[in-house]
């Protein structure tokens, strides 16, 4: 027996089945949870720097450099950080989160 044989033998039942599927789809369509834009959490960077006696341009450079530095998963010291720490005075602080 062919899979399409019952649909060919009973055309009215086939039409009613198609109408039922159409009505069910039209009723269910407005219930779909669709948003115009997806819910995305964008990463943010907050830089805090304190350097007593520094001008705004120096603070901007420190903030820019901290923002451009890639975030490393390991909290240990990095060889590139040694020169940066030596350049700042002992009273200065720079942190990024």
Q: Model confidence over 22-69: pLDDT tens digits?
A: 999 999 999 988 777 777 888 776 767 777 887 888 878 877 777 677
Identify the residue whose tokens are 């350097």.
51
How many angstroms separate the CA atoms of 59 and 5, rounded?
80
Q: pLDDT value at position 14?
A: 95
pTM: 0.36
- Compute the radius of gyration of the chain from its Cα atoms: 33
Q: Model confidence over 56-71: pLDDT tens digits?
A: 888 788 777 776 776 6
Question: What are the residue ranges spanned by the domains of the chain?
Answer: 1-31, 43-69+85-97
């Amino acid at each position: 027996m062919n899979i399409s044989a019952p649909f060919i033998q009973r055309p009215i039942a086939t039409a009613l089945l198609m109408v039922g599927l159409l009505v069910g789809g039209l009723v269910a369509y407005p219930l779909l949870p669709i948003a115009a834009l997806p819910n995305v959490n964008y990463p943010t960077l907050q830089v805090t720097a304190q350097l007593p006696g520094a001008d705004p341009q120096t603070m901007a450079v420190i903030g820019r450099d901290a923002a451009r530095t890639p975030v490393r998963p390991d909290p240990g010291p990095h060889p590139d950080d040694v020169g940066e720490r030596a350049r700042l005075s002992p009273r200065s602080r720079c942190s990024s989160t």
